[in-house]
Amino acid sequence: MQPDDLEITQRAMGRIYLEEDPTIQQWLATLIPTKQGAIGYALALFPCVGWVPRYNLRWFMGDVVAGMTVGLVVVPQALAYALLAKLTPEPRQSGLFSWAPRSRPWKKSNLGYTQQRKLQPLLSLISGMILLAIGLLRFGWVVDFIPYTSISAFVTAAAITILSTQFPVALGIRGINTREAPYKVIINTLKNLGHTELDAAIGLTSILLLYLIKTACSQLEVRKPKRRRLWSIISSLRFTFVIVMFTIISYLVNYKLPRDEAKFRLVGNIEAGFRHAGIPRFDSELTILILPKLPAVLIVLVIEHIAIAKSFGRMFGYTVTPSQEIMAQGIANLFSPFIGGYVCTGSFSASAVLSKSGVRTPLAGVVSALVLVLALYVVTAVFAFIPKAVLAGLIMHATSNLLTTPKALKRYWQLSPFELLIWIVGLVVALFESLDMSIYVTTGLSLGLLLVRMARTPGSFLGRVRIHLVPADDQVVSASHPPEGDAPKAKTAANIPGEAAIKSFDTYFSTQRDEGFNPRVPLETPYPGMFIYRFPQTLNYTNQGQHVDLISSYITSHTRRTTPEDPSIKPSDRLWNVQEPRPNKDSGSASMLFDDASSSLGTTHNDHLPRLRTIIFDCSAVDSIDITSVQGLVDLRTTLARHAAPGVVEWHFAGVRNRWARRALAVAGFGHPSNTDGPVSSAQWTPCYAVAGLPADIGGDQGVQSGDEEKSDGTLVESGADEDDASVTGFQPVVGVNRPFFHVGLAEAVNIAVRSATIRNQRSRGDI
């Protein structure tokens, strides 16, 4: 409740501004899309509209070259990934990602080949529908809830899992259950090294050859930068080259032998064309099996795709819209089952090949698709002679780049040791439990760490520091300590040309000296009994209790009670939490309530401390506030009002930019002098407002009438002017005059609070 005469005080200003509270209707109105927004949304559904009209021959040639290059790369990759997932090794579209963790529900169901063949398209269809809905509703921001720590741990664990499953295949060791935990697969593989077959020669040789080509091309890119693009394309085609070379060798060795007598394991016959194309059908039993694993599948699909998109966005200077990417991914997965495809997502290797091959537009994807279709109908007979060990070597080579390096782990430790521990936990869970469980655990731990940091990060009381900006090219020394001997003549603060131009301003440091600034810099209190408290982040129910306790204990221990207790009260009548006051020989009068000196009321041992006058909150980090937080501030106000009674405590809030937060505080009685603090009138309170300048022709004769002594920067204007004071034209209040205790910045809040405390203290003494 505002004092009755506050409105009269506000009207003393010639032109006033009254802040209005936001309403639910206004908030709902912001949710209604505008015409321009609807048009932009529709155009975003078809991004090709922006570049198709500008398409030209040069773009076409670049897209053809890049598309053909990618097509030649992804054909062997698709075969390898299908082998990894233990699916039918049919070449798929660019960017195939087969989800094949140790899926317990699918294992326990003992699904046959027919059921498994139905499960994968159904998984793709359901995933596509969900992703498309997320993209259309513009819910792409949910991706930000998955921390980088979870992604890194998952990718590393997935890489280790893949390497462990392909290691026995590359060595030709049979009978290893690669569906077990990675550590078991590695142990069983090492136990069976004696059963290594001829496949090992092909597998290990292919891995060595891939690394040699990659290393040689990388060095040639540096030595011969003019042909950098050529060497990059050759490096990208190393997969195709190795596959073709060992396929030819396999054909020459095995073409006269029956398939069951081949010298090494082969891929086998592959059906030509889209034999499994058709309309996917829903199966209730399979859908029930899919649902438990669906969240992990969606997380992996989205995270990998968005990570790739953002990586290339940073590289080429364009902004990635997560919702747009998710929508495109949903469409791809939605239509993939109709041609017999599986779950798919973006491919980092294919994207890298595109960028290095000189791609111009997304039309290169059409060229890649044509290459894949050609491979499906023409060269499937050749695929039968591809050694499985070569595909395993290709997978191991591509996967090894996904491992987190020791250098990266060291950087994690330097950035956040707690998050490194979460990363380790996620890796252990993934290797010993499952990959999808790793995502859940690391995400949960990261959210828990976030909540702990939010709830237990303490605020800080601030002290004022005067900062002076001194030009770095001027050697400035004190005039009282000139240089001695033949030292170069230095400039003193008294003879620096343009000394008046050296800027100085006030800033505020934590009184605990925990910010890492120079501890020898002196801190000062703006005014005795004035406290400045900075919230480190938003104020909510998780951390308000800590802030309230810290503020209450700190202020009560650094100020004195101003109400003498009745000495006739017996100790037995006191509450357990009320300490018995210490007697003091000296006593003070009521007028000493407002003295700045170390006077005493003779009631407590901390009588040398100042009385509480003002509390200033730096809310620049507070974006929102909830009911629990407001109630905590109200309880704190009641406690400190009792501590400072009969004096009145002013509560100032700086940097509250959210209108709803200001509304909540105003409803609780903050932001203006309140009768809940005691009897308030214009005789006790001297309003002071921050104003901003407007062009003279706008201000005109309707400017703000000021009776205050104007500051050098023209920011502070006091109402209640005398008749002979000049009018200040062209100024407007920045904050609503109905809430004078809300301030734009901390410096403004401190200046106004110091001025108010000074005048109140002078009035209490009778000086004015």
CA distance to 87, 135, 151, 188, 709, per residue, from 181 (Å): 20, 35, 20, 11, 78
Which of 402, 318, 313 is closest to 351 using CA atoms? Answer: 313
What does the pLDDT average to over 111-123?
A: 67
Residue type, 178: T
Per-residue pLDDT for 4 more than 90? Answer: no
Per-residue pLDDT for 155 more than 70? Answer: yes
Per-residue pLDDT for 630 more than 60? Answer: yes
CA distance to 13, 161, 598, 693, per residue, from 713 (Å): 19, 66, 34, 11
pLDDT tens digits for 164-211?
888 898 898 888 888 788 888 889 999 988 888 888 999 999 999 999
Q: What is the DSSP string of 702-741?
A: G-EE--S---TTS-EEESS--TTSPEE-SEEESS-TT-TT
Q: What is the DSSP string of 572-585?
A: GGS-TTSPPPPP-S
Strands (DSSP E) along 493-538, which ranges?
Answer: 504-510, 530-534
**DSSP-derived 3-state class of residue 650:** strand
* 362 vs 617, higher pLDDT: 617
Task: Give residue limits of the domains in the chain.
Answer: 459-480+488-506
What does the pLDDT average to over 593-617?
A: 63
Residue type, 9: T
- Per the prediction, the chain carries an average pLDDT of 77
What does the pLDDT average to over 233-242?
A: 83
pLDDT tens digits for 176-189?
888 788 888 889 99
pLDDT tens digits for 704-720?
433 444 443 434 444 44
pLDDT at 653: 95
Among the ranges given (162-166, 224-228, 441-445, 499-503), the one the predictor scored with the smallest mean pLDDT: 499-503
Burial track 104-141 (b if 16+ CB lie within 10 A, e otherwise): eebeebebeeeeeebbbbbbbbbbbebbbebbeeeebe
Burial track 30-68 (b if 16+ CB lie within 10 A, e otherwise): eeeeeeeeeeeeeebeeeeeeeeeeeeeebeebbbbbbb
**Cα gap 194→175, rounded to integer Å:** 13
pLDDT tens digits for 460-489?
999 999 888 776 655 544 444 455 555 444
Are 326 and 305 contacting, i.e. CB atoms less than 8 angstroms apart?
A: yes
Among the ranges given (458-467, 524-533, 596-605), the one the predictor scored with the smallest mean pLDDT: 596-605
**DSSP-derived 3-state class of residue 506:** strand
Which of 69, 697, 158, 46 is closest to 430 using CA atoms? Answer: 158
Look at the block and give the residue holding tokens 């997935």: 158
Within 10 angstroms of residue 643's Cβ, the number of other Cβ atoms is 19
Per-residue pLDDT for 698 more than 50? Answer: no
Residue type, 744: V
Residue type, 473: D
**DSSP-derived 3-state class of residue 616:** strand
pLDDT at 111: 47
pLDDT at 725: 41
Which token pair is 752? 């106004």
pLDDT tens digits for 62-103?
888 888 877 777 777 777 667 666 655 444 433 333 333 333
Q: 466 forms bridges with which residues in the sheet?
A: 506
Which of 566, 563, 601 is closest to 580 using CA atoms? Answer: 566
CA–chain centroid gap for 351, Å, is 25
**Cα gap 300→317, rounded to integer Å:** 25
**Cα gap 639→552, rounded to integer Å:** 8
What does the pLDDT average to over 719-738?
A: 59
Per-residue pLDDT for 674 more than 60? Answer: yes
Using the 8-state DSSP alphabet, how is residue 336 labeled? G
Residue type, 538: T
pLDDT at 640: 92
Residue 413 binned pLDDT confidence (cut-offs 50, 70, 90) = very high
Per-residue pLDDT for 23 more than 50? Answer: yes
311 phi and psi, to 5 degrees? Answer: -60, -45
**Cα gap 235→401, rounded to integer Å:** 15
Residue type, 756: S
CA–chain centroid gap for 295, Å, is 22
Within 10 angstroms of residue 514's Cβ, the number of other Cβ atoms is 10
604 Cβ partners below 8 Å, 6+ apart? 560, 561, 581, 582
pLDDT tens digits for 546-598?
999 999 999 999 998 877 666 666 677 666 666 665 554 444 433 333 344 33
pLDDT at 87: 59
463 phi and psi, to 5 degrees? Answer: -120, 155
Percent of the chain with pLDDT over 90: 20
Are 321 and 44 contacting, i.e. CB atoms less than 8 angstroms apart?
A: yes
**DSSP-derived 3-state class of residue 692:** strand
What does the pLDDT average to over 218-229?
A: 87
Residue 493 binned pLDDT confidence (cut-offs 50, 70, 90) = very low
Name the strand (E) or helix (H) holding 83: helix 57-84
**Cα gap 548→513, rounded to integer Å:** 21
What does the pLDDT average to over 624-648?
A: 91
365 Cβ partners below 8 Å, 6+ apart? 67, 94
Q: Give the side-chain half-sphere CA count within 13 A for 392.
A: 26
CA distance to 98, 349, 413, 419, per residue, from 430 (Å): 18, 24, 21, 16
Which of 257, 357, 349 is closest to 304 using CA atoms? Answer: 349
